[in-house]
Amino acid sequence: MFIKEFVDYLLLEKKYSKHTVTAYQTDLESFSNFYLQEYGNEDMSKSNYSQIRSWIVSLVDKDVSNRTINRKVSSLKAYYRFLLKLEIIEKSPLAKHQALKVSKKMQIPFSDTEVDDVLKVLEEGRDFKSVRDRLIVELFYATGMRRIELVNLKVSDIDFNACLVKVVGKRNKERYVPLIPSIIETAKLYLELRKDVVGVDGNLELLLTEKGVKIYEMLVYRIINSYFSKVSSKVKRSPHILRHSFATHLLNEGADLNAVKELLGHSSLAATQVYTYQSVAQLAKVYKKSHPRNKK
């Protein structure tokens, strides 16, 4: 079925992260199990569009969201492109497939006041956990990095002299993001407290649990959700919303879209443009309030 070869290709040639590759593999196994059960065949290279479409219908019947279905089909498309590259198939069965329509969900960012309120709460604590959590919030809001990028930060990634942090993004692409003085101060304090947890020559990862092991994604989510639930009534209170807030607030202050794209680590400008809605909304608000004709 060439799934293992495809996985190796994604890891070694495309340089995808293990997390991304696992998602691809899970999606392929989902179709593989369906294909075997429904058609008695293990070789997905022999499948046709009608069979794949019946799998899609079965996912719809299970109330799987269109967004998730599109992601699964996208994984399958990539697999068939790989088979085409190896000349195992002559044509992809998904060549003419149209993605299911997905309603665009507006992500509402935190206000700068909400972020300030959380940081004020965290500034009161001087213990390891409080300072670590403050550093996490500050890093998210001041750099716009992704959750997995933050989890994978190493102590050596912070350049205190240049006030920069090295962020390793998707496909192991590196970018350098400036750090404001307040974060440098928090990071220095955190590293001092960190010595009591792991010693001077301990774990190379920057952010650790109180047991001295590398922090993990779900804990980071819980930290953000816990603190922001105290100051915000928004439904979504996740690390991604902080990333969204970073981009939106920069754009509201007049930052160049291309510059924000580079800071976020996006490969295309289209991915960054989804953050412009809030900026446009802010401009409309200012316009309505300030335009002389609107005051009459």
Q: Measuring CA to CA, which residue among 31, 126, 116 is closest to residue 71? A: 31
Active site residues: 146, 170, 240, 243, 266, 275
pLDDT value of position 294: 56
Q: Measuring CA to CA, which residue among 294, 274, 275 is closest to residue 284? A: 294
d(CA 53, CA 295): 56
Give the pLDDT mean for 146-174: 92
Percent of the chain with pLDDT over 70: 89
260: confidence class by pLDDT, cuts 50, 70, 90 = confident
287: confidence class by pLDDT, cuts 50, 70, 90 = very low
Question: Cβ distance 170 to 159 under 8 Å?
Answer: no
pLDDT digits (tens, 9 = 90+) for 86-134: 999 999 999 999 988 876 666 788 888 999 999 999 988 899 999 999 9
d(CA 31, CA 25): 10
Where are the chain's structural domains? 3-85, 112-235
Residue 65 C-alpha from the chain's centroid? 19
pTM, two decimals, is: 0.66
Give the pLDDT mean for 225-232: 91
3-state secondary structure of 211: coil
Homologous superfamily of 112-235 in CATH?
A: Intergrase catalytic core (1.10.443.10)
pLDDT value of position 192: 94
Q: Which amino acid is at 259?
A: A
pLDDT digits (tens, 9 = 90+) for 18-52: 888 999 999 999 999 999 999 998 889 899 999 99
- The mean pLDDT value of the chain amounts to 87
3-state secondary structure of 177: strand
